[in-house]
Amino acid sequence: MTPYAVRRAFKGIVEHRFLAVATIGTVATVLILGGAFLLVITNLSGLLDRWGQDVQVSCYLREDVGDEALFAIKAEIEAMPEVISVRYVSQDEALERFGEAVDGMDRILADLDSNPLPASLEVRLRPELQQPARVADVASRLSRPEFEDMDWSQEWVERFHTFLGLLRLSALVLGTLLLAAAMFLVNTTIRLAIHSRRDELEIIQLVGGTRWFARTPFVVEGMALGGLGALVALAVLPLLYKYAFVQLQASLGMLLSMGTVEFLPVPTLLGLFVAGLAVGFVGAFTSVIRSNVGTVS
């Protein structure tokens, strides 16, 4: 990458600045969409991890279980090595929690004649029991005739896993398509640049410029377009995070019991920048090869 190539590349961008701005904008848009997707996926994955660490089995009690039997069962379960703690949640407490979790629900519940929610034992398991199979195994040993029903958060986690997998896959497919579209636009922009500089290319050949002397400025130009697009995306993503994601979290967070929404980690941001450069490089390189730039007539 000679200084000449760099100078020529940036001059090229200025020469057809409108097309250049459109191309930079497209690359930026693609990377912003990709970044937003990554933001969602990273945060949902984080959520998954936090849920996964907090494996809890709820054992819903039959209505006819007496206090004595209840204490016996609680003590028995607490003694199991997989269990960290057992907590009794009364019918009233369950109702109260449900009312808190959803806005306005408390007033609806206040109108009810009787409490429809069962009392339960909430059993917290050790965090190393994150694999769904092991949770199921422990749960089966927890099982008692006094329990009407059981459920454990791991089931949710599992379903969420599947959902997240689908989300990742669609992000991958969509991201690839968008990147391909951006690459195609860079390719077209560079092809037009090559076309408008035919005379110059002819002269370069006449004065003894090699193929790569003729080609490198176009490749650098493509990379500059991609890189600038990436920089725009990296400037916009924090704003998007601040004004859209954090807002969204503020209104939905309690319902979803999410933690704080995190911004993208540095390696991901670097990855986006490299993706921009790569889009520019591949778009320009293919254009230069196809147009046969610098090949002696």
Binding site for other proteins (CB under 8 A): 2-4, 15, 199-200, 202-211, 213, 295-297
Residue 73's nearest CA partner among 121, 27, 2, 13 is 121
Contact 27, 226 (CB under 8 A): yes
CB atoms near residue 203 (< 10 Å):
11
Contact 167, 44 (CB under 8 A): yes
Smallest gap from Cβ 239 to other proteins, in A, equals 38
Kindly tell me which of 68 and 199 has the beta carbon lying closer to other proteins: 199
166 to each of 11, 82, 161, how far by Cα in Å? 44, 32, 9
Smallest gap from Cβ 193 to other proteins, in A, equals 13
Q: Tell me the CA end-to-end span of the chain in Å, nearest whole number.
A: 25
Alpha carbon distance 219, 2 (integer Å): 12
Kindly tell me which of 102 and 192 has the beta carbon lying closer to other proteins: 192
Kindly tell me which of 257 and 292 has the beta carbon lying closer to other proteins: 292
Kindly tell me which of 133 and 296 has the beta carbon lying closer to other proteins: 296
Smallest gap from Cβ 36 to other proteins, in A, equals 41
Smallest gap from Cβ 297 to other proteins, in A, equals 7
- Report CA Rg, the chain: 30
Smallest gap from Cβ 208 to other proteins, in A, equals 4
DSSP state of 62: P
Kindly tell me which of 100 and 202 has the beta carbon lying closer to other proteins: 202
